[in-house]
């Protein structure tokens, strides 16, 4: 499932071709993906300007001129592809793609939504924003003004100033669950997923099995710094591609080549002063990778 760095990569790719443009046409190739599309989804979007595209946790958040918000989640295999052309009634043709239709993992039979955005200027072609999702675990929702829906009660963004050592220590004070599970709780910190929690815990020398309320203030400070560093490096690398993820230009993420512990079961610990090996255990149905020797 795409985590924060992957969603941030997608947001940065979509913003230049969606922000400030009008949804000229919306085509739905099915009535639902993970959930049914909202009532009157097409008519509520067509003719409306996408004023700002941002990310909150693992969600794409599109603020609309109508006052509504389009909330989009990629699920497990969702991705966006940008093509150049027209997809309007009576003019359903496409010109040369800005992203080749066969790039990355894109298979056109799984194109479920097509947004035709307004052209940037006279003589230019309208970009098509295609949502492709083989497993159909993604979804789109329209929220009325003032309604924050699923993102209302999320914790702080890990890359924000609101997330730091003291704030994390306060959140963990009454938590008796394992720190790995606690960090995956979106109410504690928003957007973290299995891969980057494993990597950050390794960087902070903290075992994923440690009870959350046993972390000291210094350990929380170190952990918050490692989380920020790990996420920033992953974003710079375009995220991680394990199975399905690709950016909107078809590029695959590169950060998987920099994993220190994730998916490295049995390998020698990358810490030069450590002689241990990487172990894999199951926590809450997910794999945790760590070094028992240097993560305490």
CATH number given to 165-291: 1.10.8.50
Assigned architecture for domain 4-151? Alpha-Beta Barrel (3.20)
Tens-digit pLDDT profile for residues 49-98: 999 999 999 999 999 999 999 999 999 889 999 987 655 554 444 443 33
Domain assignments of the chain as residue spans, ordered by start: 4-151, 165-291
Nearest to 18 by CA among 117, 139, 123: 117
Report the chain's mean pLDDT, rounded to a whole number: 89
Check pLDDT > 50 for residue 249: yes
Find out whether 16 and 204 touch, Cβ atoms under 8 Å.
no
The predicted-structure confidence for 185-205, as pLDDT tens digits, reads as follows 999 999 999 999 999 999 999
Which residues are known catalytic residues? 2-3, 58, 286
> 22 pLDDT exceeds 90?
yes
Q: 71-75, 105-109, 125-129, 215-219: which has the minimum mean pLDDT? A: 105-109
Are the C-beta atoms of 188 and 155 separated by less than 8 Å? yes
Give the count of alpha carbons within 13 A of 184, CB side only: 18
Q: Distance (Å, rounded) from C-alpha 213 to C-alpha 221?
A: 14
Full-model pTM? 0.88
Q: Which residue is associated with the tokens 């973290």?
A: 192
């Amino acid at each position: 499932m795409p985590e924060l760095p992957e969603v941030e990569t997608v947001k940065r790719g979509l913003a230049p071709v969606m922000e400030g443009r009008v949804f000229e046409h919306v085509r739905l190739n099915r009535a639902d993906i993970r959930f049914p599309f909202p009532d009157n989804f097409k008519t509520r979007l067509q003719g409306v300007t996408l004023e700002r595209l941002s990310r909150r946790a693992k969600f794409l958040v599109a603020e609309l001129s109508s006052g509504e918000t389009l909330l989009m989640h990629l699920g497990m295999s969702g991705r966006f592809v940008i093509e150049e052309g027209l997809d309007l009634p009576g003019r359903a043709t496409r010109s040369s793609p800005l992203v080749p239709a066969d790039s990355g993992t894109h298979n056109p039979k799984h194109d479920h939504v097509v947004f035709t955005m307004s052209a940037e200027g006279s003589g230019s072609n309208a970009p098509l924003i295609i949502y492709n999702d083989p497993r159909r675990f993604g979804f789109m929702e329209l929220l009325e003004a003032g309604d924050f829906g699923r993102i209302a009660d999320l914790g702080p963004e890990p890359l924000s100033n609101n997330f730091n050592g003291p704030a994390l220590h306060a959140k963990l004070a009454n938590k008796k669950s394992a720190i790995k599970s606690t960090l995956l709780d979106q109410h504690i910190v928003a957007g973290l997923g299995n891969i980057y929690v494993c990597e950050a815990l390794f960087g902070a020398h903290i075992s994923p099995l440690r009870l959350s309320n046993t972390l000291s203030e210094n350990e929380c400070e170190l952990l918050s710094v490692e989380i920020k560093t790990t996420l920033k490096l992953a974003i710079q690398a375009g995220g991680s591609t394990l199975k399905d993820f690709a950016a909107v230009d078809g590029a695959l993420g590169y950060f998987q080549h920099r994993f220190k512990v994730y998916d490295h079961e049995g390998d020698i610990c990358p810490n030069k002063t450590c002689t241990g090996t990487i172990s894999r255990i199951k926590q809450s149905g997910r794999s945790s990778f760590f070094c028992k020797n240097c993560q305490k």
